Structure 1
């Protein structure tokens, strides 16, 4: 979900020495046209499979939300949902300077729509949910704890 702090968490994890990948780039994702003619930004299957297959011995934190992500769930140890209320998401999106998404009214409307339609699907398949309204240090510690034996 936009505004939950995925990028901030990845940055903090990277500074703490963890391997991280943000899949919202052309390296990891691509646009496809759905049967109804709409566009969809999905994971590049081979790239994600190779990425996940190459990190057996080390922790790897991957962020992204794609319609085809479920097919990769068996390759993950945990599926984490970072969640926060709509007002928090919209405030973060309005204040951020590193990502232009969510600045236009139709994008904010899409964020709210995804919160109502996509987040419940993510929650149903997540193995862990973390309250992203917590301070980022606490969120990162919760994520790191998932790598402990």
Structure 2
């Protein structure tokens, strides 16, 4: 069964897209959730045993993972598609500004970091991506584009 990774910078709409895909009946895993990530020298990395377990378990349909970590490329050979969700930096920062206090992005320093990371990290994500989806428009259109990608790679 197909495995699709959805990745992108904070504020790109990954969580919104994943919720839409789950609502459409797809099996989804948000690896930003508790237990999926460990910090090694300050760097967030996937816990290999958790990712391997998710990828190895029996499925009846496609699996969609969401996440952006430095070691995600270690599983690139296991992904049938890697979808980069992207938007202009101004859109990312505006979305982060609207987050609740205590959430990543709500603080000015977080938003400045995302702006810096977009210039440095997003090109590496783009190089790994098989598909790129601009999320600056209607979230329903983003979910529709993702459904089409998942269906394409799932055959």
Question: What is the match of residue 128 of structure 2?
Answer: 125
Output the CA distance in 2 between the equivalents of 1:99 and 1:142: 31
What stretches of structure 1 of length at least 5 have no aligned partner? 34-38
Question: What is the match of residue 19 of structure 1?
Answer: 27
Aligned equivalent of 2:12, options 4, 7, 12: 4
TM-score (norm 2): 0.87
Output the CA distance in 2 between the equivalents of 1:108 and 1:42: 21
Rate the CA distance shift 1:7–1:102 in 2: closer, same or farther, 3 A: same
Q: Does 1:77 align with 2:73?
A: no
Structure number with higher relative contact order (C-alpha < 8 Å, ≥ 6 residues apart): 2
Aligned equivalent of 1:28, options 29, 36, 39: 36
Question: What is the match of residue 36 of structure 1?
Answer: none
Instruction: Give the 5 Å matches for 1:48-59.
Output: 48-54=51-57, 57-59=60-62
SS of equivalent residue, structure 1 residue 79:
strand
TM-score (norm 1): 0.90
- The alpha carbon displacement at 1:99 in A equals 6.9
Across the two proteins, how many residue pairs are aligned to each other? 144
